[in-house]
Every structure is written in C-alpha cells, then in structure tokens.
C-alpha cells in the first residue's frame, strides 16, 4: 500500500493540488483568491503532463555531444512542448482575469463577489463607463 502511494507520488500531488485549486475557486468570495485557485488548478495539470513524459533513467531531452552520449535515454519531449503552450494559455487567462478585476474594483470599489452582487441589486443599470 505504502509502495503504491510512494511509487506514484507525483500523480497524488497533482490530484491534491487540483482539489485545493478547485476548493479555492468554489468556496472563496474574493476574486483574486479565485484566480489564485484557478492557477493552482491549472498547475496541477502541468505537473500531470510532466509526470507522464518521464522515462525511467531518462534525462532532459537536450543533445550535447552525439558521439559521446549515443546511448543516453531521453525523456519524452512532446508533453513538455505541449505544456509549454498550456502554460502560456494559463498566463494569458490570469492576465485577462486580473485586468477584469481591476475594472471591477474601479466600478464597484470591491473585489468580493457577494459584495458586488449586493451593490448591483441596490443601484442597477448604472452606466459608469
């Protein structure tokens, strides 16, 4: 049992991180905390991708000296490339989210989503742009 857990520890960490991120997205009212939760959630998927690309005894897929290192085992480079793209996507999502939060703060003076809903109900349809 212990071996089963220890053997696949990186997948367990990915699952735990994912649940932490999911909890933050669902339970927190502060919008910045929600964005941080989203980041943790996405990072867990990056960890998962990196884990599946690991080859036993493999090293980083970089060619140094082809004649000396002819028998070197490399990790699978493709998931690394894929996740690089996904990281860029995640950074853009965070940037857009933070931009929206700045605008929300300017319009409502708050970044708590329950607070924003209450203010919207009190004084709706204010054209403040």
Partner 1 sequence: MIDFFTAHAPVLAIVFFIFGALTAPVLGKINNSLSYYCALITTALSFVLSVYLLVSVYNNGPLEYFLGGWKPPYGIEYRADILNSFILSVVSFVSLLSIIYGYGSIKAEIHEKRRPAFYSVYLLFIGGMMGILITNDIFNMYVFLEITSLAGYALIAMGRTRYSYMASFNYLILGSIGATFFLIGIGYLYMQTGTLNLTDLAQRLQGHFDTNVVLVAIAFIIVGLMLKMAVFPLHFWLPDAYTYSPSVISAAMAGTSTKVAAYLLIRLMYTIFGIQAGFSGINFSGIIIVISSITILAGSIIAISQTDLKRMLAFSSIGQIGYVLIGTAMVNKYAFAGGLLHILNHAMMKTALFMVAGGFFYKLTSTKINNLKGMGRQMPFTSTMFLILSLSMVGIPLTVGFISKWYIVLGAAQSGNWIVVPVILLSSLLTAVYFGRVINTLFFKESEPSGAENLPVKMPYSMIGSTAVLVFLCVFFGVFAYLPAEISLKAAESIIGAMPWK
Binding site for partner 1 (CB under 8 A): 25, 31, 34, 38, 41-42, 45, 48-49, 52, 78-79, 82, 85-86, 89, 92-93, 96-97, 100-101, 103-104, 107-108, 113, 116-117, 120, 124-129
- Between 22 and 72, name the residue whose CB sits nearer to partner 1: 22
- Between 68 and 125, name the residue whose CB sits nearer to partner 1: 125
Rounded Cα distance between 93 and 74, Å, is: 32
- Between 13 and 49, name the residue whose CB sits nearer to partner 1: 49
Rounded Cα distance between 11 and 17, Å, is: 10
Rounded Cα distance between 8 and 51, Å, is: 9
Rounded Cα distance between 36 and 116, Å, is: 19
Q: How far is the CB of 120 from partner 1 (least distance, A)?
A: 5
Q: How far is the CB of 27 from partner 1 (least distance, A)?
A: 13
Q: How far is the CB of 55 from partner 1 (least distance, A)?
A: 12
The H or E element spanning position 42 is helix 31-52
75: left (phi over 0), alpha (psi -120 to 50) or beta: beta
């Amino acid at each position: 049992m212990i071996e089963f857990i220890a053997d696949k520890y990186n997948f367990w960490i990915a699952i735990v991180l994912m649940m932490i991120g999911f909890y933050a997205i669902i339970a927190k009212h502060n919008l910045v905390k929600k964005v941080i939760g989203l980041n943790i959630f996405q990072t867990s998927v990056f960890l998962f991708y990196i884990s599946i690309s690991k080859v036993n005894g493999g090293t980083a897929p970089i060619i140094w000296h082809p004649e000396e290192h002819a028998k070197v085992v490399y990790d699978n480079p493709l998931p690394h490339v894929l996740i690089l793209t996904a990281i860029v996507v995640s950074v853009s999502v965070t940037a857009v989210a933070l931009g929206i939060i700045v605008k929300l703060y300017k319009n409502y003076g708050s970044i708590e989503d329950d607070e924003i809903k209450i203010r919207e109900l009190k004084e709706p349809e204010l054209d403040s742009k």
